[in-house]
Amino acid sequence: MELIIYEMLYIIGLGLGDERDITLKGLDAVKKCEKVYIEAYTSLLSFGLSTDGLSTLEKLYGKPIILADREMVEEKVDNILSEARGSDVAFLVVGDPFGATTHTDLVVRAKTMRVDVNVVHNASVMNAIGICGLQLYRYGETVSIPFFTETWRPDSFYEKIERNRNLGLHTLCLLDICVKEPTLESLCRGRKQYEPPRFMTINTAIDQLLEVEQKHGKSAYDEDTNCVGFARLGSEDQMIVAGTMRQLRTVNFGEPLHCLVIVGKTHPVEDEMLEFYKITTENPEQKGNGIP
């Protein structure tokens, strides 16, 4: 009987830090693939996606890497899936493959086209935030905080935070990333030009959160609400600071990526761990680099 070998689409998590965070299973898969794409709009590795950053990945993985921006994934994904019908193709994702709904859609479309999929998991922000001591099973619904504009100030996240707070649950706030966003002027002209990349800071997120609270006035949170700010989570220079919104909005968290947790009702063990990261008079920018 003839042995039939099916080609595969590998969706591979890269973890949070740098090129070395890929798993051995993921690295084996990358090395066997004819084409390797890397998704570049839901998150970034700590060194970013500069030319040097891609070269670093290519050197370790031994393969050329194709940058897959939002336009390619959302409009031309069928081309990638068609390639996976005739050869092994890798799609690299920062964090874990299912940390963003886009990648769930990719799996659904692959299965619809009868393309076999193999997922290789890795660490993501969804579990790495546990380093601050807040227990993962005491989190409510995660929310995304988008950049406000003069004419667009969405606040649907407010009700979710309010619901979490009423239940005593913590809330992970994922902060906006704008990579390769077309300018309004270029859209009007039909010729795409792109805005410079922008990454929301914890400071901006808190400003927007407080603006929305002032608008709704339901006391879901205020300037004295305890939070934890994370910068470059999973990298060697990660920064973790616990304090009130008022305190955190004055801290310089440095380079992206940032995320924020609004603290709910805490257990004594959680309080004990948070103490290691709290802002103090002696150290107003307490930095947490690993488990204290």
- The whole-angstrom separation of Cα 201 and Cα 231 is 9
Tokens of 225: 């609400």
Q: In DSSP terms, which residues pair with 67 in a beta bridge? A: 38
| Residue 185 CB neighbour total at 10 angstroms | 9
Are the beta carbons of 65 and 38 closer than 8 angstroms?
yes
Binding-site members for S-adenosyl-L-methionine are: 16, 96, 99, 124-125, 175, 233, 258
Burial label for 239, CB within 10 Å (0-12, 13-18, 19+), is: buried
Binding-site members are: 16, 96, 99, 124-125, 175, 233, 258
Tokens of 62: 């031994």
The dihedral of CA 262, 277, 175, 24: what is its sign? negative
Q: In DSSP terms, which residues pair with 94 in a beta bridge? A: none
For tokens 């914890």, the residue is 202
